Structure 1
């Protein structure tokens, strides 16, 4: 039986009235407060190119959990609290899932074709689905085997040449990812595929910073002649695009040749090629960019997290000793840690949480774009505005994390041994833009950290005078923040540790 017409009419009137009221409120709502603006330029001269999160945190102390900037007429909103980030990026994720238009990195170089910068829509959703399907629980056993094998080989490298630890960290994640994605055995970090991927990471971190290049705020500049003054960004874009195309094409072509002659090892790229024998150029480009996203999105941040762990261990020997004692109790002396041990290592888990929190690899999120007008706490968020989460401010909020500039794993351990709050929710992006390779990155970091602590000691380097070298704590200011250069000493915990490392490396199956 149909509803009475009078009832339907009343419901329609109520819906229209509610919509009109919301629209009226939205029209009246002011933008969030923010620093004073110059005519036309707005805040273009106020926003630093480096360490933006520190200035944003300073402004948050003045203007509150959400403030607004204007750069040449474009609105930028910065979220500085758990409530604001969760409400907009998580609960209203459908409105904030888009990426802003970034002419230099996106169009001129081509980064807008990879999932991390791709505009929200069908192609982006399909790319995420492809990545998630390749990492689902059916493939987890194979992935863990690769990670364990590379961790064992990495330990051998650290024992043989501890001074080159950062190269070993870079090799570890490259070896894991390129075997997973292309079936490629990476023997050293000078491999051409690794060089291309690391060039991408460098370019991405340099280019995807709000306000870094004038062309991103005045897109018409990209169409001006290259010989005009100030057009140096065009030659930069051309060079970066060439390297980006090589990264997308060359590893994929390598696997394609192997599939054709029947020598391809199991990998994501091989599976895509075998299952799609006659793709269109658009489909093949989609496969190439989605596969390369594995390394491009996760390698740089994973290496940064590993380097932060090493730095923390050198600065806090008492934390290292507690984590090692827990590993000795749970794992014992006769084997390396495994993923199945993780549930029984609450203190190590807490150490990892401090690694993610203390100096986050992504201090501010990759920018989001709001897809329709919105209102939050009485403030208007205009359609098309760029919205950024200041993760640094949250992770250094003394109300959430007392004494935030100190590394204190115990802050997550309550009397029942549970962990709360969890800074990892702020480390891998937000909402519908959360990193699809998060589990791969977390597992790689876990097995690296657990194996290192089980077998090696990390301490401050000692100078010629016999005194510890105080390297200090310095981080870079790019999109992905890395620890600056520092010295430390890495040595085996015992002769038994050396034997264990040698045995584990000898028994690695290089084809798995």
Structure 2
């Protein structure tokens, strides 16, 4: 088998590193520079499910199969909770307060505990009514303007995360001043995160040179000022008994419990909205992938329609209480997320594989060493193409997720939201959003590919979170339009 070939990358305590390409000098890029998702997947096929790269003294490990991801990223998650040092994005821009980049330690544990308390499954359930009402607005948007379906998914997703973080709804995803400002800040963060964007990440002493990093300092003050303003607005509303429940309000009500400074609270709430905006956009991308799959695979869509007709009927709209009775819908969603992974890599490793982990001790896997200090990525695209778990992986087949009795298999897992103790804390909220939107969408409409505008299922943008490039669909109501409008506007919770 190809992955048995000997690695030239070296040994650790007599145990070889996983196989991989020859090492390179520290100023060179050991990883593919273009089309990285497919390039890494090709390397996984050549060298095996765990591939090592050497860049000077730096060891980089890429995980490319379900089994290896479970064994290393999940079972050894306690040894991979740390992040590699990031001077530009983590220290100079975020000052160690951005949860996504926080190194393991006391601050990380305090920040993580607070955010998990607010977004754990039971807490996430409290947002279901709000999510469903926003999802009903999404259906009306699709009914009124089906060509801008991607914009409608983004409006939904941003509205939800604004409500969760600050108790505020945005009328549209593109015109709300706070959303515009947050996206500007996210762009700054994404610039700082790009490999090679700042030489200080390779030559640390540069940060102490007068004038170096002025741009990063300005960006830090800009985002901290915005985060302070937002937390201050929530505090002012709470003092006047105004405003609904939100993460920021919870922070202010439990200052003694979580022991965070004002700036840490400001950054944590702002980081939740920032990371939540990424998760929200990922949610929107996931919904768009499901829309694309429905248009391109009408027989699979028809199975979901058949299930909805049997379980729901036409007298009421789907609700969260129906979730356990809709395995075909869940299987369709799982397959859409596997078929076109939300974190879809084209240009940077962070996009390809999520944010990096750092091994805090040696990990031995099947006779290979992942050494302490190594940077470890899980490659979502390669994992989603694992032929052992997903036979014929390029085929869209929701039935692979169901057993012979039509129930969801409990022995299959595809990692969408990250790995181990660094898994996205908003995953429960995101899953709820995708379920209720797709339940309402498929109950309301049949989605068809236009004969005069065939969809290119491989056409995606080069953004940090890659979007399907615009595509047109025909949306055919399955419910009489007047009744559909009434059911989406009457506030009925089903």
**TM-fit CA distance, 1:444:** 0.5
Match of 2:300 in 1: 319
Cα-to-partner distance string for 1:401-425 (whole Å, 9 max, x where unaligned): 1221121101112212233477754
**TM-fit CA distance, 1:46:** 4.6
Take 1:206 and 1:327, find their aligned partners in 2: how far apart are those partners? 44
Cα-to-partner distance string for 1:451-471 (whole Å, 9 max, x where unaligned): 111112322245xxxx34444
SS of the aligned residue for 1:426 comes to coil
> Which range moves more in the overlay, 374-383 or 360-369?
374-383
Question: Given the alignment of the two structures, is residue 219 of structure 1 paired with residue 200 of structure 2, yes or no?
Answer: no
Match of 1:289 in 2: 267
SS of the aligned residue for 1:84 comes to helix
Take 2:319 and 2:265, find their aligned partners in 1: how far apart are those partners? 32
Contact 1:356 1:423 in 2 (8 A): no
The gaps in structure 1 that reach 5 residues or longer are: 1-24
Take 2:157 and 2:362, find their aligned partners in 1: how far apart are those partners? 41
Contact 2:228 2:266 in 1 (8 A): yes
Residue in structure 1 matching 2:249, options 270, 277, 288: 270
Contact 1:51 1:478 in 2 (8 A): no
Match of 1:241 in 2: 220
Match of 1:482 in 2: 467
Match of 1:380 in 2: 369
Take 1:470 and 1:345, find their aligned partners in 2: how far apart are those partners? 27
Contact 1:105 1:112 in 2 (8 A): no
Take 1:274 and 1:61, find their aligned partners in 2: how far apart are those partners? 52
Match of 1:183 in 2: 167
Residue in structure 1 matching 2:116, options 119, 132, 140: 132
**TM-fit CA distance, 1:184:** 0.6
Cα-to-partner distance string for 1:109-147 (whole Å, 9 max, x where unaligned): 217422222111222222222222223455444311111
Match of 2:347 in 1: none
TM-score between both structures, scaled by the size of structure 1: 0.84
Match of 1:414 in 2: 403
Take 2:370 and 2:487, find their aligned partners in 1: how far apart are those partners? 59
**TM-fit CA distance, 1:160:** 1.8
Match of 2:87 in 1: 103
Match of 2:102 in 1: 118
Take 2:127 and 2:203, find their aligned partners in 1: how far apart are those partners? 44
Take 2:341 and 2:219, find their aligned partners in 1: how far apart are those partners? 26
Match of 1:340 in 2: 321
Cα-to-partner distance string for 1:196-229 (whole Å, 9 max, x where unaligned): 3333444445544555654433333444566xxx
Take 1:139 and 1:398, find their aligned partners in 2: how far apart are those partners? 37
Residue in structure 1 matching 2:446, options 449, 453, 457: 457
Match of 1:80 in 2: 64
How many residues align structurally? Answer: 471
Take 1:169 and 1:350, find their aligned partners in 2: how far apart are those partners? 20
Question: Given the alignment of the two structures, is residue 27 of structure 1 paired with residue 13 of structure 2, yes or no?
Answer: yes
Take 1:111 and 1:304, find their aligned partners in 2: how far apart are those partners? 30
Superposition RMSD in Å = 2.8
Distance 1:155-1:49 versus aligned 2 partners, 3 A rule:
same
Take 1:150 and 1:223, find their aligned partners in 2: how far apart are those partners? 48
Contact 2:401 2:408 in 1 (8 A): yes
Question: Given the alignment of the two structures, is residue 69 of structure 1 paired with residue 53 of structure 2, yes or no?
Answer: yes
Larger Rg: 1
Match of 1:199 in 2: 184
**TM-fit CA distance, 1:442:** 0.4
Distance 1:172-1:203 versus aligned 2 partners, 3 A rule:
same
SS of the aligned residue for 1:94 comes to helix
Match of 1:396 in 2: 385
SS of the aligned residue for 1:116 comes to helix
Take 1:213 and 1:56, find their aligned partners in 2: how far apart are those partners? 24
Contact 2:304 2:442 in 1 (8 A): yes
**TM-fit CA distance, 1:96:** 0.9
Contact 1:99 1:367 in 2 (8 A): yes
Take 1:308 and 1:37, find their aligned partners in 2: how far apart are those partners? 37
Match of 2:24 in 1: 38
Cα-to-partner distance string for 1:359-413 (whole Å, 9 max, x where unaligned): 2122413100011233333333232211111122121022221221121101112
SS of the aligned residue for 1:392 comes to helix
SS of the aligned residue for 2:386 comes to coil
**TM-fit CA distance, 1:242:** 4.9
Take 1:418 and 1:338, find their aligned partners in 2: how far apart are those partners? 19
SS of the aligned residue for 1:484 comes to coil
